[in-house]
Amino acid sequence: MLQIENLHAEIEGSEILKGLGLEVNKGEIHAIMGPNGSGKSTLSNVLMGHPRYEVTDGSITFEGEDVMELEADERAKMGMFLAFQYPSEVPGVSVANFLRTAVNSVREKELSPMEMYRLLQEKMSVMQMDPKFAERYLNEGFSGGEKKRNEILQMLMLDPRLAIMDETDSGLDIDALQVVAKGVNELRGPEFSAVIITHYQRILRYIEPDRVHVMLDGRIVTSGDKELANQLEERGYDWVREEYGSTTQG
């Protein structure tokens, strides 16, 4: 599904990713954990083609196709999706209108108004959202939990092949966290993969990862199963710095 090799990337002349490698197979959920400043959010932005970041070396292939020269919207049409840590407000554009435009932009054939209405109602029900929510302006006046639920609603509507979730769990109470996890698990299957970027182990109690990776100084330094996340919860990141701080990627 996703293969990253020797990825180097910088922003404004400062190198953030320093030879990162990662392989995600179809149907797999991978968690990437690491302390602040390790490059996790940079990785998510680079994967989706954010123009502020310059890739200086390495490759990214999605389902066997090189995506390095593709714009963000082209990657989205291929089936890649990014859930933001801090979703933007868009005054004057309703959630329903935004989703209609987004869904039709990635489909070969546009949905009819009735098909769109039914799809939206179905996915809002999964996310336990009041139908009136769709009439509100996108993220304007939303609580942190509402913004994150709306991100997952977008994911369900777009039905991507690969979801990249950049700290979607940050700032969520336990109820909102469970609903967000439910949305991800709704898509889980042999043709869907996800990369969950997080500081904490708690979301992994509800979304069981196939692999857990630890990122430090722009590289993935060690990987394991979900037990690795439990170790990080107990021991913090200091032991990772002590053991891998001066090593190259392992």
pLDDT > 50? residue 54: yes
pLDDT band at 248 (very low <50, low <70, confident <90, very high): very low
Report in angstroms the alpha-carbon separations of 187 from 62, 153, 159, 234.
18, 11, 7, 30
**Hey, how many other C-beta atoms are within 10 angstroms of the C-beta on 201?**
18
**In the prediction, which pLDDT does 52 show?**
92
Q: Which of 5-9, 41-45, 60-64, 147-151 has the lowest mean pLDDT?
A: 147-151
pLDDT tens digits along 69-102: 999 989 999 999 998 777 777 889 999 999 999 9
Sequence spans of domains, the chain: 2-90+160-244
Nearest-CA neighbor of 125 among 171, 186, 81? 186
3-state SS, residue 129: coil
Give the long-range contacts of residues 239-247, CB within 8 A, separation 24 or more. 240/214, 240/216, 241/35, 241/216, 244/214, 244/216, 245/216, 245/217, 247/221
pLDDT tens digits along 155-208: 999 999 999 998 887 777 888 788 888 888 989 999 999 999 988 788 888 999
Query: What CATH number is given for 2-90+160-244 in this structure?
Result: 3.40.50.300
3-state SS, residue 112: coil
Residue tagged 């639920």 (tokens): 149
The alpha carbon of 66 is separated from its chain's Cα centroid by a whole number of angstroms, namely 19
77, with CB counted inside 10 A (0-12, 13-18, 19+), is: middle
pLDDT tens digits along 98-117: 999 999 988 878 889 999 99
Per residue in 102-139, is it b (16+ CB within 10 Å) or e — as a string? ebeebeeeeeeeeebeebbeebbeebebeeebbebbbb
Q: Are 227 and 31 in contact (CB under 8 A)?
A: no
pLDDT > 50? residue 25: yes
Per residue in 218-244, is it b (16+ CB within 10 Å) or e — as a string? bbbbbeeeeebbeebeeeebeebeeeb
What letter represents residue 157's amino acid?
M
Percent of the chain with pLDDT over 90: 56
The model carries a pTM of 0.88
**In the prediction, which pLDDT does 211 show?**
95
The alpha carbon of 144 is separated from its chain's Cα centroid by a whole number of angstroms, namely 17
Compute the average pLDDT of residues 207-216: 93
